[in-house]
Chain A
Amino acid sequence: MSFPTSKRKILQKLFLSTLYLSAFTFGGGYVIITLLKRKFVDELHWIDEEEMLDFVAIAQSSPGPIAVNGAIVLGYKLAGFAGIFFAVLGAIIPPFVILSIISFFYQAFKNSFVVQALLTGMKSGVSAVILSVVFDMASGVVKGRDIVLIIVMILAFIANYFLKINVIYIILCCVLIGIVLTLLRSRKGGAR
C-alpha cells in the first residue's frame, strides 16, 4: 500500500483519473467502473478489491449515471467531500465540453447534407443498439422466472407506452412494490 499522505496529491490523482477515463471511455458506466477498478485497485492499490465491489453495488443502487456515482463513492472514500467534488468535476468536464461544442454547431450541422445523411443512417443503427440492449435486459428478467417481475415489466410498458403515464409515477410505484416484496420475502426467509 502506497497511500499518499498529501491530500492534494490524492485529489489531483482522483481528478485526473476521472477526467481521463470520462474523456476516452465509450460504452457506458460499467466500462468506466472497470477502468476505475484497474486504476485504483490494481495499479495504485489505494483500495482493495472487495471494497471496490461494494462501491460498484452502491453506484448501481443510486439513481443517476453509474460512472458519476462510481466517481462519487470513490472520491468520498479517498478524500471526503473534497474528493466528491473533484471526482465529479473530472467526470463531467469531458462530456460537458464536447456536447457544448456540438450544440453550438448543431443548427449548421443539421443543415449540412453529409451530416444529415449520416445522422439519418445512424438513427437506424442507434435504434438497433437500444433494442438489442432491451432484448438482453428483457430476456434477463424472463430468465429470472419471477412471475411478479415479468408482470411488472409488461404492466410498466403498457402504462408508459399506451397509457402515457409519467415515468416518475411508474418508478415510485415499483419502488413501493420492491419494498413490500423485499420485506415480505425476507420475513418468509427468516421464519424458515
Chain B
Amino acid sequence: MIYLQLFLAFLQIGAFSFGGGYAAMPLIQAQVIDKYAWLSVSDFSDLVTIAEMTPGPIAINAATFVGNQMGGLLGALCATVGVVLPSCIFVTILALIYTRYRSLSLMQGVLKSLRPAVVAMIFSAGLTILLPTIFVSGTISLVAGNFKLRAFLLFAAAFFVLRKWKKISPIIVMLTCGVIELIFQLITY
C-alpha cells in the first residue's frame, strides 16, 4: 500500500529532522533512496537542486515530489501530511510545556548535543550528491576518465564564491553554474 508507506516514511522524516532545512536531507536519503528505493541517487540530487531553487522547506518539497512520482496527487498529499504531522504535535506540546514552565532548558541541552551529529549527517548526504557529480563512478577513484574536471572546477569556483562573498544568494551561484554548463555543452555540441 503505497499511500501508507509514503505517509509513514515521511512521518519519520518529519519526526526526526531536528535543526531545520538541510537536517531533513540525510533522513530523506535514508527513507527514499536506501530503504524504499523510490528515487535513484541521480533523481535525489535533482530533487535537492530543484528544492533549493524553489521556495519552501526541503522536506515539504521532497514529500510533494516523491509522493507525486510514486502515487500521484493523493500520494503527495499523504506524504506531505506525514511530514508536517510530527511538527504539529511536537510544537503544540512544547508550547504547552513552555507556557507552564517558561523554560525549555532540557530540550535545548538535547539540541546542543544533536547539532554536531546533524552537521555530520548533512555532510554525509552532501557527499552523496557531490561524489557522483564529480566522479563518473560515484566513488573517489582517480582512474583516467573517471574524473569530471569541468564539474569539479564549477564546484570549486562556486564554493570559493560562496565563502568569499557571503552576501551572494546561493540561488544566483547555482543558476550561474547551470548556465556555464549549458554554454559549454552548446559549444561542444
Q: Which residues of B contact A (CB under 8 A)?
A: 12, 14-22, 24-27, 30, 34, 45-46, 48-61, 64-65, 68-69, 73, 76, 80, 83-84, 86-88, 90-92, 94-95, 98, 104-127, 129-130, 133-134, 151-152, 154-156, 158-159, 162-163, 169-171, 173-182, 184-186
Contacts and interface: CB of A to CB of B under 8 A. Distances in A.
Q: Looking at chain B's contact residues, is the secondary structure mostly helix, strand, loop, or mixed?
A: helix
A128 B60 contact: no
A28 B60 CA distance: 12
Contacts of A153: 116-117, 119-120
A30, A63, A138 interface centre (most CB from chain B within 10 Å): A63
Contacts of A73: 91, 94-95
A186 B105 contact: yes
A164 B121 CA distance: 11
Nearest to B27: A167
Interface of A: 22-30, 54, 57-69, 72-73, 76-77, 84, 88, 92, 94-96, 98-100, 102-104, 106, 110, 113-114, 117-135, 137-138, 141, 148-150, 152-154, 156-157, 160-161, 164, 166-168, 170-171, 173-175, 177-179, 181-183, 185-186
Nearest to B111: A61
B69 A106 contact: yes
B83 to A, nearest CB: 7
Contacts of A182: 105-106, 109-110, 112-113
Contact of B119 (A27, A65, A141, A186): A141
Contact of B60 (A61, A77, A95, A150): A95
Nearest to B185: A117
B52 A129 contact: yes
A25 B21 CA distance: 13
A181 B22 contact: no
B178 A117 contact: yes
B113 A177 contact: yes
Nearest to A179: B110
Contacts of A99: 50-51, 54, 56, 60-61, 64-65, 68, 76
Which of A57, A61, A175 has the most C-beta atoms of chain B within 10 angstroms of its own C-beta?
A61
A88 B30 contact: no
A123 B49 CA distance: 6
Contacts of B14: 63-64
B21 A63 contact: no
Contact of A152 (B21, B55, B116, B176): B116
A179 B182 CA distance: 50
Given A160-B26, A181-B109, A62 B57 contact: no
Contacts of A23: 55
B121 A94 contact: no
